[in-house]
Amino acid sequence: MATTLSEAYRDHPLHLHHIIPLDFSSFRTLPDSHAWPQSNDDCNDHLTSNINGCFDESCIPIIDLNDPNAMEQIGLACEKWGAFQLRNHGIPLNLIEEVEEEAKRFFSLPSKEKVKALRSSGGATGYGRARISPFFPKYMWHEGFTIMGSPSNDAKKIWPNDYKRFCDKMENYENQMKMLSEKVTKMIFNILGISQQENKWVGSNNHCGAIQLNFYPSCPDPNKAMGLAPHTDTSLLTILHQSQTSGLQIFKEGVGYVPVHPHPNTLIVHTGDILHILSNSRFRCALHRVVVNNVKNRYSVAYFYVPPIDYLVQPFVPTNSLPRFRSLSVKEYIGIKAKNLGGALSLISTFLDDDLCQQGK
């Protein structure tokens, strides 16, 4: 029986062609395998996030964690967007920079070096394409490196004599992200009225977590390419650092894709599927994607905060309401998502409408 996140993915192996990334450095034109039928012109580039924290239809709010009203603002942002940006988050800025530097150090290696840490078919960690690759007809202009717990096994394959530097930074970052995730989760559970007493795993070492280093090389034909295809995160919440290069876009019903341009010293928080289920779809789980450009490489570092694998994800239902989803374990949900991606929430819905997630109902 699976007890860790890695083990939960073992039952859902991927073909190697959905794992081995292209050697992007050898392409001057976009190969057909990476040319997407639809261009990225459905983006509302004039819209952006508002520095003062705003809750109208057009901007992704920035919330100061030290603001006495932060909890209320987080609740509103999760309801309206399923995402927000966080200022004064308490993560040391030099650590964020160092982790980004380590990501650059890894991704700038020649392909023949990087593939030494290739994710195995049934594996969850290491170098490779995004797990969602098999659901799309074309490949993404993207490389990833996934870490669950200590990355030492994978890092040793790359830097046999010098793996410690990479591991120390990543482990330190994981600890800091865990603490921030706990803080935000406690605020969110408070908003939802979910008992802390029954969720003692928050604040213990019983949670599951993963770090994903993302690399989007500059691309010869960015309008036809896709950095990361539209998806929602499986996690309870995701904390994302993006380098100073735009590319992330969040889908807003009735508006389209809204860019989230980088703001110095802010981290982005996404509501994941698990929180969407727990909140009985009061909180959206934002559909998001990444577009690429032809000038600069882009990097991002995502931390996925996930409850223990055997945790029962059970919608918290206000009085006089009905649960919109059946209860299931994290492991079962991961399995359903691995087979159905965007259809996973509809499959566990107790209602007939599909795509409840996007409608935020």
Ligand X SMILES: O=C(O)CCC(=O)C(=O)O
Q: Which residues are catalytic?
A: 298
269 touches ligand X by CB under 6 A? no
Q: Which of 153, 169, 141, 168 is closest to 117 using CA atoms?
A: 153
DSSP string, 254-278: TTEEEE----TT-EEEEE-HHHHHH
Asked whether 125 and 144 are in contact (CB, 8 A), the reply is no
Question: How many Å is the maximal CA-CA distance in the chain?
Answer: 61
Residue among 80, 119, 129, 288 that touches ligand X (CB under 6 A): 288
124 or 194: CB nearest ligand L37FFZMX: 124
Nearer to ligand X, 75 or 247 (CB): 247
Q: Which of 259, 288, 268, 303 is nearest to 62 (CA)?
A: 268
Q: Give the range of 41-49, 192-200, 226-234, 344-352 binding Fe ion by CB under 5 A.
A: 226-234
> In terms of Cα–Cα distance, which of 290, 303, 278 is closest to 195?
278
Pick out residues in 49-108 that bind Fe ion (CB under 5 A): none
Taking the complex as a whole, how short is the minimal distance between the CB of residue 241 and ligand X, in angstroms?
A: 9
* 188 counts as binding ligand L37FFZMX under rule CB under 6 A: no
Nearest Cα to Cα of residue 119 among 257, 251, 13: 13
Q: Which stretch binds ligand L37FFZMX (CB under 6 A): 23-31, 66-74, 103-111, 124-132?
A: 124-132
- The nearest distance, CB 270 to Fe ion, in angstroms, is 6
Question: Which residues face 86 on adjacent strands?
Answer: 63, 267
| 174 binds ligand L37FFZMX, rule: CB under 6 A | no
CB of 246 to ligand X, least distance (A): 9
CA dist 289 to 62, 140, 228, 244, 352, Å?
A: 19, 11, 5, 17, 27
Question: Which residue ranges make up the site for ligand L37FFZMX (CB under 6 A)?
Answer: 5, 9, 124, 130-132, 146, 210, 212, 231, 233-235, 304, 306
Question: Which residue ranges make up the site for Fe ion (CB under 5 A)?
Answer: 233
